[in-house]
Amino acid sequence: MMEQTAITTSTTLSTVATSAMTNTKTSTLRFNVDQQCPIQNVTVYNDRAEVTRLLQHHFDIEGTYDLVFEGFSPFVDETSLHVSGGTGKACTILEVSYQRRYDYTKEQADLTPLDQLQNELNKVETDINAHKKEVERLDKQRTWLDGRASKLMNQDGQANANDIDAMDKFMDFYHKVLLKLDDQIENEEKEIKKLTQQQDGLKAKINQHGIGGQSNQQNIRREVTITVHIGSNNINVNLEISYLISNCSWSASYDVRVNSQETSKQQTQLTYYGIIVSIPNEIY
């Protein structure tokens, strides 16, 4: 297809780009790491441990999915998260993010004014993150479309009247899609700006209460969101999630035994161990 004419390529690109721009709906799947992502490997260092978990999941329908993982240890280093796997074009990892969510142990009616402010702040911060993720996705779509258009325009080959007409249609399509993406990005950035102002105002009110006034009614849930694009129907996908855990170390220990019952055949047995200390509950 790429070697025939510029017109054939532009028509194909229009179809692909249209599909990419319109198929933006994202489905969400939730997983508990302890129950659904068994540990495959643990490597313990002097001051930390690296844990690797495996997710095996069957996808019935192609599309974009947010895979949300919860149940992580509080000792997880959120900057160390690494995801690998997939099956080439059938599964593309688009984004990996880490969130902290707060749940209250009291009923909403029993919340103090400070609790209510903190609850509002958590919701605003969640909304900000969602809009920022949408901007990143739109930017990726724009970059993808620009790249395909540049590749098309740099192709060699003679063009006839039909080629020029089709190219004109593609450029019109390209212009319309860029306008749509720019408008979407502008709207998202306006919403982020508005939410950021709300965030600053809520933080100022919370600071007026003082840090010591915060109650211990919040339960922190640590979540990892992996956004993937599944390119085929009815496929099995394996993903490995690796991360570092602090508050974990090991030390060497040796057991030496000498059998001296027969002086002419003395035997020495040396056994060495690695003792893991201060390890978080997650690795047990």
Q: Give a yes or no: residue 37 inside a domain.
A: no
Q: Residues 14-43, buried b or exposed e (16+ Cβ, 10 A)?
A: beebeebbeeeeeeeeebebeeebeeeeee
The two structure tokens encoding residue 198: 């709300």
Calculate mean pLDDT across residues 65-89: 82
Q: Give a yes or no: residue 273 inside a domain.
A: no
Residue 12 pLDDT? 35
Per the prediction, the chain carries an average pLDDT of 77
CA–CA dist 282, 99 (Å, integer): 18
List, for residues 125-176, the tens digit of each pLDDT value: 889 988 988 898 888 888 888 887 777 777 666 666 676 777 778 788 888 8
Q: Give a yes or no: residue 202 inside a domain.
A: yes
In this prediction the pTM is 0.50
Tally helices (H) and strands (E) across the chain.
Answer: 4, 10
List, for residues 185-223, the tens digit of each pLDDT value: 999 999 999 999 988 888 888 877 665 444 445 667 778
For Cα atoms 237, 240, 244, give the angle at the middle one, nearest 5 degrees.
Answer: 160
Residue 250 pLDDT? 75
| 6 pLDDT above the threshold of 50 | no
Q: Give a yes or no: residue 179 inside a domain.
A: yes
| Domain count along the chain | 1
Q: Give a yes or no: residue 194 inside a domain.
A: yes
Q: Give a yes or no: residue 277 inside a domain.
A: no
Q: Give a yes or no: residue 150 inside a domain.
A: yes
Q: Give a yes or no: residue 118 inside a domain.
A: yes
Residue 158 lies in domain: 1-22+106-216
Residue that the structure tokens 């479309």 belong to: 145
